[in-house]
């Protein structure tokens, strides 16, 4: 039997689950269900990544030990799965003893082969990413993910000879076009490899800096760097090296990751596998970000979507349908509750729900709720049957290639075609005219096509699909639901069985009422944010006077204020600081001030701030402002003073 192994990344437990985690896991669950119906033996893995600097920091903040902290947060991720209808086969934790043993065994194997060495390295370390960055990778000296300045750290560590495998990896990607998909991410990885600067990978942290991790088997003064620990979950969960699951499912594996962890999965992981003697994985499937108000979700921005709230309000299946329908896999997508509700009304209530409601009600009315015997098929019937065949074939091909939104669209071509067929065939007229034979053919044709729709929907909407199949008088069993056969099969709905008298699975949402609720919630959140912003903040750690003396604060006058040509939230200002010519300063103040508010104002400027390029323009300083209960106020002098006056 052909086998299919699907994984999510193991989720880092420094914060609670959010929409991004839910999406990735729902995608994996959908793929498992789909391949199960395609006749494959499946295994679905998810879990949590529990070592590293951020875990220690989060535990300290919560006044508990790292183990107590990871136990608590890991359980939140585990509890989320059944709540979202997720049917995983295993949940791995990197603090599991079995996982740690595999990490140490693989490390020892790679070390013994000569691919790990001891050396000294200095680099820009981002604690948020828990990785070193090169100068080229930084954006204006900042971490590209967190937009914070990394700390330069020089220390002795162990290194994996990743650069040794650069040519092999590049050739493997070229020889296997589907290895990384969609295509845009394959090109991105090849571009990195073409640069010829693949460095060796630091794979340890000294215990003097970090103790929370898997100890190196060949040096107990160091723990394993989080990626060389976390990525190995994909084999440790299969009971490597002697487990039956490892023998059955490796390397028939599909990884699903978000684009922010492309490099570790597309470069670190395959080279690690090669060095350890494993066959490389089948596919790396990379998706984009879910955005809220066109901004990546962030706890600090307060725009994190709680998946359970949406699932409980609209139902798991509607939530799952929306996520797969609205994001074109590989691209970013915007989430809003209104979009979800509109999708439910248009495609679930109006299209699918209305179809089942109309047809089942007519079967009850015209045939006593029993599936009728079809007679001779007309050209219109055969066209619908051909549409059904094409829709099923396209759905299967697209889902197999992680093009979920397009796959659902291909199925909806059949749903919409069925609704048109109802209107053009006019069963009510046939009943009135007493044409029972033709009426029976029309009703059977619709019911058989509806059966195909319901079966193909199961990977996306398992609860609803099972109910729809049940309304057609059938029992649902994914083990016997042979999707490939559905492309050509016809007449699998038995004549004479009883169907439900109607259907009402997808109620409509009152959009006007919802908009009002969202508006009120946004106002309440805005008020709460204002109160929080002006609350007394904890004083930062003390600094020396010499540190403060380095900051040069000057009074300036704003002479020019205009929009930044490439950044919606920035002003481009010219500020007179008493110098030969005005300074260009870029200020993120558009949410709080108009150009007229700033023009001609006296402002306090950090005059000796290192210049920084933002979206193509260079900023030479920073204007200071403070938050109040009513918004923002510019920091300024109490009276008019000459431009360039130094604050002291």
| Residues with a known catalytic role | 18, 21, 126, 129, 143, 146, 296, 299
**CA 468 to CA 476: how far, in whole Å?**
10
What one-character DSSP code corresponds to residue 306? -
Label residue 138 exposed, middle or buried (CB < 10 Å: 0-12, 13-18, 19+): middle
Contacts of 27 (CB under 8 A, 6+ apart): 256, 285, 287, 323, 324, 329, 402, 404
Distance (Å, whole) CA 155 – CA 206? 8
Residues ≥6 apart with Cβ < 8 Å to 370: 363, 496, 497, 498, 499
Residue 17: which residues within 8 A CB-CB, separation 6 or more? 11, 76, 77, 80, 307
String of DSSP letters for 36-57: HHTT-EEEEEEEEE--SHHHHH
The label of the residue with tokens 């689950």 reads: 17
**Nearest-5° angle of CA 7, CA 184, CA 332?**
70
User: Which residue is it, tokens 């991720």?
Assistant: 77
Pairing of strands 41-49, 90-93: parallel
Please indicate if the annotation marks 172 as binding a ligand: no
**How many whole angstroms separate alpha carbon 297 and alpha carbon 311?**
18
CA distances 558 to 4, 601, 613, Å, are 63, 6, 20
Alpha-carbon span 124 to 148, nearest angstrom: 11
Query: How many other CB atoms sit within 10 Å of the CB of residue 531?
Result: 10
Q: How many CB atoms lie within 10 A of CB 144?
A: 13
Q: How far is CA 114 from the centre of its chain?
A: 37
Position of tokens 């370390």? 125
- Residue 132, both tokens: 């070193």
- In this structure, the dihedral spanned by the alpha carbons of residues 261, 267, 268 and 271, taken in order and rounded to 10 degrees, is 150
DSSP-assigned beta bridge partners for residue 606: 553, 622
Answer for the pair 558, 575: CB distance below 8 angstroms, yes or no: yes
**In this structure, are residues 21 and 307 in contact, taking their beta carbons and an 8 Å threshold?**
yes
Rounded to 5 degrees, φ, ψ at 513 are -65, -40
23: tokens are: 């999406």
**Phi then psi dihedrals of residue 481, to 5 deg:** -80, 100
- Characterize 34-64 residue by residue with b for buried, 16 or more Cβ atoms within 10 angstroms of its Cβ, and e for exposed: bbbbbebebbbbbbbbbbbbbbbebbeeeee
255 annotated as a binding-site residue: no
Closest CA to 504 of 614, 355, 397: 355
Helix (H) or strand (E) holding 631: strand 631-634
Is residue 573 a known part of a binding site? no
3-state secondary structure of 103: helix
346: DSSP letter = I
Q: Phi and psi of 133, rounded to 5°?
A: -120, 145
For the annotated binding site for Zn(2+), the residues are 126, 129, 143, 146
For the annotated binding site, the residues are 126, 129, 143, 146
């Amino acid at each position: 039997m052909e086998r299919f192994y699907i994984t999510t990344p193991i989720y880092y437990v420094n914060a609670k689950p959010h929409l991004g985690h839910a999406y990735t896991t729902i995608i994996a669950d959908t793929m498992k269900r789909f391949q199960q119906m395609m006749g494959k033996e499946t295994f679905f893995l998810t879990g949590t990544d529990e070592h590293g600097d951020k875990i220690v920091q989060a535990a300290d903040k919560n006044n508990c030990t790292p183990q107590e902290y990871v136990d608590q947060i890991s359980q939140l991720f585990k509890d989320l799965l059944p709540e979202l209808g997720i049917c995983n086969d295993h949940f791995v934790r990197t603090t599991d003893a079995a996982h740690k043993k595999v990490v140490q065994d693989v490390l020892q194997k790679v070390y013994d082969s000569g691919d790990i060495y001891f050396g000294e390295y200095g680099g820009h370390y981002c604690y948020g990413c828990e990785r070193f960055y090169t100068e080229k990778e930084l954006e204006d000296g900042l971490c590209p993910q967190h937009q914070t300045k990394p700390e330069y750290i020089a220390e002795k560590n162990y290194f994996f000879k990743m650069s040794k495998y650069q040519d092999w990896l590049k050739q493997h990607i070229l020889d296997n076009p589907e290895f990384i998909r969609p295509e845009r991410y394959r090109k991105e990885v090849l571009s990195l490899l073409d640069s010829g600067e693949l460095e060796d990978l630091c794979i340890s942290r000294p215990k003097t800096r970090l103790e929370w991790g898997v100890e190196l088997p060949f040096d107990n003064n160091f723990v394993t760097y989080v990626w060389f620990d976390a990525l190995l979950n994909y084999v440790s969960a299969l009971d490597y090296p002697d487990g039956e699951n490892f023998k059955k499912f490796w390397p028939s594996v599909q990884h699903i990751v978000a684009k922010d962890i492309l490099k570790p999965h597309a470069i670190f992981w395959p080279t690690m596998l090669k060095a350890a003697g494993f066959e490389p994985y089948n596919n790396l499937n990379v998706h984009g970000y879910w955005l809220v108000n066109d901004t990546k979700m962030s706890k600090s921005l307060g725009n994190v979507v709680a998946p359970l709230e949406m699932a409980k309000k609209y139902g798991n299946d509607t939530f799952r349908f929306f996520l797969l329908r609205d994001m074109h896999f590989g691209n970013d997508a915007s989430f809003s509750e209104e979009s979800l509700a509109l999708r439910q009304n248009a495609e679930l209530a109006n299209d699918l729900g209305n179809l089942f409601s109309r047809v089942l009600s007519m079967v009850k009315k015209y045939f006593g709720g029993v599936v009728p015997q079809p007679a001779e098929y007309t050209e219109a019937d055969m066209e619908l049957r051909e549409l059904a065949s094409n829709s099923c074939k396209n759905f299967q091909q697209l889902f197999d290639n992680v093009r979920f939104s397009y796959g659902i669209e291909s199925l909806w071509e059949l749903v919409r075609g069925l609704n048109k067929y109802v209107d053009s065939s006019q069963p009510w007229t046939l009943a009135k005219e007493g044409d029972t034979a033709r009426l029976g053919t029309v009703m059977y044709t619709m019911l058989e096509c509806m059966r195909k729709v319901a079966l193909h929907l199961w990977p996306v909407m398992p609860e609803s699909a099972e109910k729809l199949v049940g309304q057609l008088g059938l029992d649902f069993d994914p083990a016997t639901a042979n999707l490939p056969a559905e492309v050509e099969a016809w007449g699998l709905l038995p004549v004479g069985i009883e169907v439900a008298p109607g259907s009402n699975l997808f109620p409509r949402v009152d959009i006007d009422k919802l908009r009002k609720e969202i508006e009120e919630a946004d106002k309440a959140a805005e008020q709460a944010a204002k109160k929080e912003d002006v609350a007394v903040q904890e004083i930062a750690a003390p600094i020396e006077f010499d540190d403060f003396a380095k900051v040069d604060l000057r009074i300036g006058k704003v002479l020019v204020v205009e929009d930044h040509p490439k950044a919606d939230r920035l002003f481009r200002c010219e500020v007179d600081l008493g110098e030969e010519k005005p300074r260009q300063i870029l200020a993120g103040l558009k949410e709080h001030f108009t150009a007229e508010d700033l023009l001609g104002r006296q402002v306090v400027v950090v005059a000796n701030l290192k210049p920084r390029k933002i979206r193509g323009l260079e900023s030479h300083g920073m204007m200071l402002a403070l938050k109040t209960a009513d918004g923002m106020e510019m920091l300024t002098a109490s009276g008019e003073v000459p431009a360039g006056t130094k604050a002291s």
